[in-house]
Structure 1
Amino acid sequence: MSTQAAFAAALLDPQQPCPEGLCSANGADPASRFAVYRNNVQSSLINALADSYPVVVQLVGEEFFRAMAGSYVQSCPPQGPLINDYGKDFAGFIDHFEPAACVPYLADVARLERLRVQAYHAADAQPLSHAQIATALADPQALSELTVGLHPSLNLLTSAFAVVGIWAAHQQDASLVGVDLDHGQNALVLRNGLEVEVFTIDQGASTFIQNLRLGQPLSQALETAPAFDLSQTLALLISHNAITHLHHNQVSP
């Protein structure tokens, strides 16, 4: 192992000794100074996770979360320089973190919170005006080849639990009274201006929007989606500035 690799490994694992070869200009004990530095690095990473997953923190409590996040930091060190990217696989870690098994919806809540972070930092895109969209949708014959482009921040999550209800409850009084935890929900996440918004949509709408994201024309996207309210879904996308372009595919002769 290289000196740099050994230093990095010891930095994230408090069980490892201070790396060899360290020295201090003022005569202080290198091991003590390294321990302080290691503690600061680990605390900073745990704090970054807490900032990205505030509802997860509320669900399990500060002490439990910091212990869980500490285990994550030791097993999943940062792979890049952007702190906003750190913890993108935290939900997968929670799935296999045995002490969290008593909160079965925790990982999916983390997935929803991760999508919110991604939406906030997604690229900007100019939405089409309502008038432009209305003109394009007014031609029934062209709808079969109409491709809908969606905002880069838009994403979807399907959960066996009431993830949106759980998340929404923790934006207010943090009480889950009245939330049917085992009622599965489909979440739509997008950024409207500077505000990240979260909506509950039904399975058909989620399938339809996912088909649009895959580049399927409007009519084809409808074919494989379970029954849903198309007008309501399009109204949701339009009113929250999620449609960025419309393209009429040319039909081959």
Structure 2
Amino acid sequence: MPAHPEFLARFDAALRGGALPPGVTARAPAEAERRFAVYRNNVTVSLTGALAARFPVIARLVGPAFFAALARHFAETHRPQSPVIAEWGAEFPEFLEGFPPLAAYPYMGDVARIEHARGRAFHAADAAPLHPARLAGADPETLRLGLHPSLILLRLAHPAVSIWARNQPGGADLPLARGPQIALILRDPGYEVQLRAVTAGEAALIEALVQGQPLAEAAAHAHAADPGFDPARTLPELMRHGALVDAKV
């Protein structure tokens, strides 16, 4: 038998249509080929199903037949690197952007970024939400706030938040935004992954808090990005969804 790395390489080549890997035998050579072909097909179907489960809006937008072919192309060049199949697909947004048949639909990559981020948010670590008393009477010049581990901010080149929302049950009549959007993704205390578009001011505040800046400095960054920004509206909203936690020292 070959060394383990060589065996894995030859087994993977067989899954892509190459010769049978070492050790796969049957009384009749044709029987071994037939049985491995069944296994090869099962792997392809399983990977296609896993990708469709992780990117259901993309699957809906392109249709099942096109998605099956798309998934096969992706799996050929981006094999899972972990036995945890839920971790597979990080490169899918960039793959979509470089896939010639989708050149006329450049927003697909951003929609896929949202879907991948929602999966990451769902599996993120837990953290106790900030108690409201921490904000009462606190000095904004020194107060530092942490963000929940599930919170993800995506600056997108297309109106992908509204495209995603229009492809949810009952969302067909929602308005379609124009131009780029900023997506805020967060798992709330009820373990539901929330998605909404945020303003430039909200995004600047959140990014500054992530960098560890005191609340006053973070608010100043938000005002620079959006002169009409009001932290008195944003902070309670973030707290209501469990986004604020105690900052790590």
- The TM-score, its normalising length taken from structure 1, stands at 0.88
Partner of 1:188: 184
User: Please, which runs of 5 or more residues in structure 2 have no aligned partner?
Assistant: none
Would the aligned equivalents of 1:146 and 1:246 in 2 still touch at CA under 8 Å?
Answer: no
String of CA shifts for 1:22-67, please: whole Å, max 9, x gaps: 2137987111111111111111111001001011111111111111
Q: Per the alignment, in what secondary structure is the counterpart of residue 81 of structure 1?
A: coil
Alignment partner of 1:6 is 2:7: no
Q: CA deviation at 1:173?
A: 4.1
1:191 & 1:63 partners in 2: Cα distance?
A: 32
User: Please, which runs of 5 or more residues in structure 1 have no aligned partner?
Assistant: none
How many residue pairs align between the two structures?
Answer: 240
1:43 & 1:79 partners in 2: Cα distance?
A: 18
String of CA shifts for 1:193-234, please: whole Å, max 9, x gaps: 211101111012112101111222212223333122212211
Letter in 2 for 1:9: A
Q: Per the alignment, in what secondary structure is the counterpart of residue 140 of structure 2?
A: helix
Question: Identical aligned pairs, as a percentage?
Answer: 40
Q: CA deviation at 1:174?
A: 5.7
Partner of 2:240: 239
1:231 & 1:39 partners in 2: Cα distance?
A: 56
Q: CA deviation at 1:76?
A: 0.5
Find the partner of 2:208 among 206, 211, 219. Answer: 211
Letter in 2 for 1:119: A
Q: Per the alignment, in what secondary structure is the counterpart of residue 146 of structure 1?
A: coil
Q: CA deviation at 1:20?
A: 4.6
Letter in 1 for 2:39: Y
String of CA shifts for 1:127-165, please: whole Å, max 9, x gaps: 1223x2332xx23xx211211111000001111221111
Partner of 1:55: 57
1:64 & 1:234 partners in 2: Cα distance?
A: 43
2:140 & 2:58 partners in 1: Cα distance?
A: 42
- The TM-score, its normalising length taken from structure 2, stands at 0.89
Would the aligned equivalents of 2:185 and 2:195 in 1 still touch at CA under 8 Å?
Answer: yes
Give the ranges of 4+ consecutive aligned residues of structure 1 lying more than 4 Å apart after TM superposition: 25-28
String of CA shifts for 1:75-100, please: whole Å, max 9, x gaps: 00011111110112211111111111
